[in-house]
Structure 1
Amino acid sequence: MSSTDYQGLLQKAVRAGDIEETVDIIQKVLQEGINPVAIVDEGLIPAIRTMGDLFEQGEVFLPHLMRAAEALKKGMALVSPLIEETTADQGVANTVIMGTVEGDIHDIGKSIVALLLSASGFNVVDLGASVPVNKFIGAVEDRTGDSIIVGMSALLTTTMSQQKLVIQKLTEKGLREKVKVMVGGACVSREWAAEIGADGYGLNAQEAVRLALEFA
């Protein structure tokens, strides 16, 4: 099975919520030596992102999205231990405070990034979805002795301004210099990250991990 073949087939299986097919494809490509991080980044994430977009557009409904999410979880259960094995020796000890910003309940992509960060040796504090500005600030204040990265996800254009508000509040509280801020999400761009004063932008889960490792 070629790289291109597996990507398309895996994405199709996840979108269809076909757990058996999702597991079968992943098992086969793992045997062929495909990098487990690539499986997540090139197969699982694009599939669930597409489903999220279709859901927002009203082209699929909640049961379809939930079935796709279940297939995603089964796939992640296969690759997560392998990712942990390959990254366990990096010895990173930084704390990453992760959350989807207030007003945005999408948290599958953010959760995948959190998983990969944890597997890479980071101490991940996952605040969940629709996280208020003050909750981000409180999480930073609670970890005064740590080296901290704040990661914020936004999938809606109506909520991305919350990323800017968190950075502004960090500055007001005198906390901005002690943290690195990275942002991501379907509606977020490198230009937006620069505009709001973030330290970096992750286009996908793999890039977010790479960025965090640079900050460490």
Structure 2
Amino acid sequence: MHDIAYNLITGKHNEVNRLTKQALDDGFQANTILDDGLIAGMAIVGIKFRDNIIFVPEVLVAARAMKAGMTHLEPILSASGIEPMGTIIMGTVKGDLHDIGKNLCIMMLRGSGFVVHDLGVDTKPDEFIDAVMEHGAEILGMSALLTTTMPNMGKTIEAFEEAGLRDTVKIMLGGAPLTQEFADDMGADAYGGNAIACVDLAKAFIAEGAMPEAS
């Protein structure tokens, strides 16, 4: 497991691919490989990124390595019915085509055990609503990089209110020009300044029982 984590941190996706397959062949459980290998490695990547020891390119390379390992594990985990930590919908808002920050958040969330459905860029309010309904997501994450598209976050939240669904989902906002004050003004549940904050917020929401049925 240490070898898998190490190769993930250093971005050697071919090695992660080989070692994950080998670990399964050697009789290790898929969730053990996920927790002690891939997630353990991605956690270190997250800390290094937070502390400015590594930067976006290194994180993306590590995320590619994680994906290589997950190719082997996902079918097994799905078949065995292991519950994911939670389900999250992510997308960049209407009119905005920037996705590096969003993609970083998705990599880190998946690396922490969340199921994430990525709606991509230029996402309309009703597309967010449809995805939350379809997947029964507890959390919605919206991203924007342009100040001109930031108000579309508020419009999406209003659309959830009009549909009577606002209380069914926790809404997180992120993006370089955003602030906590802006997120509060838009009526969001949280603001995350980076991918690490995004994961911490998602974990906190799940811990407090974001699902209405949990109450």
Band of TM-score, shorter chain: 0.5 to 0.7
Counterpart selection for 1:188 from 175, 178, 189: 178
Alignment of 1:77-156 (within 5 A): 77=64, 92-143=84-135, 146-156=136-146
Alignment of 1:32-43 (within 5 A): 35-43=44-52
1:213 matches 2:200: no
CA contact (8 A) 1:92 1:120 kept: no
2-side partners of 1:103 and 1:79: how far apart? 30
Amino acid at match of 2:197: E
SS at match of 2:141: strand
SS at match of 1:158: coil
Q: CA deviation at 1:212?
A: 0.3
Could you list the runs of 5+ residues in structure 2 that have no partner in the other structure?
1-9, 13-42, 70-82, 207-215
SS at match of 2:105: helix
Deviations 1:187-209 (A, max 9, x none): 11100111111000101100110
- 1:157–1:44: structure 2 CA closer, same or farther, 3 Å change rule? farther
TM-score (norm 1): 0.64
Q: CA deviation at 1:77?
A: 3.4
Matched with 2:60 is: 73
Matched with 1:177 is: 167
1:204 matches 2:194: yes
Deviations 1:88-130 (A, max 9, x none): xxx6532100001111111011011011111211111110111
Matched with 2:38 is: none
Amino acid at match of 1:103: G
Amino acid at match of 1:171: E
Q: Alpha carbon RMSD of aligned pairs, Å?
A: 3.1
SS at match of 2:117: strand
1-side partners of 2:122 and 2:90: how far apart? 11
Amino acid at match of 1:36: V
CA contact (8 A) 1:98 1:128 kept: yes
- 1:212–1:23: structure 2 CA closer, same or farther, 3 Å change rule? closer
Moved over 2 A (4+): 39-45, 71-82
Amino acid at match of 1:121: G
Amino acid at match of 1:101: V
Deviations 1:155-198 (A, max 9, x none): 11011111101100000001100000000100111001111110
2-side partners of 1:44 and 1:153: how far apart? 24
Amino acid at match of 2:95: G
TM-score (norm 2): 0.64
Identity of aligned residues (%): 40
Could you list the runs of 5+ residues in structure 1 that have no partner in the other structure?
1-21, 25-33, 49-68, 83-90
